Amino acid sequence: PYDVLVVGGGPAGASAAIYAARKGIRTGIVAERFGGQIMDTLGIENFISVKYTEGPKLAASLEEHVKHYDVDVINVQRAKRLEKKDFIEVELENGAVLKGKTVILSTGARWRNIGVPGEAEFKNKGVAYCPHCDGPLFEGKDVAVIGGGNSGIEAAIDLAGIVKHVTVLEFAPELKADSVLQDRLYSLPNVTVIKNAQTKEITGTDKVNGISYVDRETGEEHHIELQGVFVQIGLVPNTDWLEGTLERTRFGEIIVDKHGATSIPGVFAAGDCTDSAYKQIIISMGSGATAALGAFDYLIRN
């Protein structure tokens, strides 16, 4: 078995693997997609000590740093089951079973779906989640961004530089994004913000041709013609596969203590899949280090 088996290869998992390997213990890391969410991120300006970098570049350095140590990297494999027997077993979708004396879960999070008619139907046919990946596809077109939090407003600002016009639909009476982002947004000429807007349907034929929403103040339904919809309403932790095994919050986040320990002895967790207060690269890396040190502490005591 591995001394430390890390599940998830984003910033949290990479950090955990490096901290574990540096203790000279047998370390493995299994990931569905090495790099995680930063693979979908363009500009990163808040990774302290690096003024500016780009996600894929940071992901490549993470992988290089991990591979600098004696770590088994198992990429493009998804874990589907965790069970504590003599060791902690992690079964992969390909049927293989990996064993660890300790396991660190760092499976991150993914974009939340809005769940209205048309969303699933027109995914990749006008419905998108990653402005950095799909923004250029909508050059010169009209798009909507659903969600007025930080990610929604960042997306709207980003898209406004590429597309013809951006309509932001926010369910609440106010945008929730940081005021610096809102100021930036309102300084742009090709953005409209509609608050109190409940998205009803994403319309289209073979691809998206519009969006319907209800004005929550008047109850009136409106339809806007456009070619793209970016859904930016938050993140869901990738922890469905752990249902019934360890304690999670009602949002599905794995509950950890200050050592990164979960409710199963020997199983630790780090990053966006946990109930940590903020979901950021530097925070997930810090918690990856915490979980690895927590796992090491557990190993020397058991």
Chain residues binding ligand FAD by CB under 6 A are 7-13, 30-34, 36-38, 40-41, 44, 46, 78-79, 106-109, 130, 132, 238, 241, 271-272, 279-282, 284
Strands 221-225 and 127-128, bridge-based pairing:
unpaired
Residue closest to ligand FAD, measured at CB: 108
Annotation says 273 is catalytic: no
- Catalytic residue among 40, 70, 72, 133, which? 133
d(Cα 168, Cα 66) in Å, to the nearest integer? 40
Q: What is the DSSP letter of 230?
A: E
- Catalytic residue among 130, 215, 275, 297, which? 130
Largest pairwise CA distance in the chain: 64
Which of these, 120, 131, 115, 147, lies nearest to 208 by C-alpha position? Answer: 120
What percent of the chain is helix, strand and coil (3-state, nearest 5)? 25, 30, 40
Q: Which is nearer to ligand FAD, 101 or 279 (CB)?
A: 279
Would you say 3 is a known binding-site residue? yes
Would you say 88 is a known binding-site residue? no
Q: Which is nearer to ligand FAD, 126 or 288 (CB)?
A: 288
Would you say 272 is a known binding-site residue? yes
C-alpha distances (whole Å) from 113 to each of 110, 123, 147, 279 are: 9, 11, 11, 18
| End-to-end CA, the chain | 15
Q: How far is the CB of 264 from ligand FAD (least distance, A)?
A: 16
Would you say 109 is a known binding-site residue? no
Q: How far is the CB of 222 from ligand FAD (least distance, A)?
A: 28
Binding-site residue positions for FAD: 3-18, 262-272
Query: Binding site for NAD(+), residues?
Result: 142-156
| Residues annotated as part of the active site | 130, 133-134
- Annotated binding residues, as ranges? 3-18, 142-156, 262-272
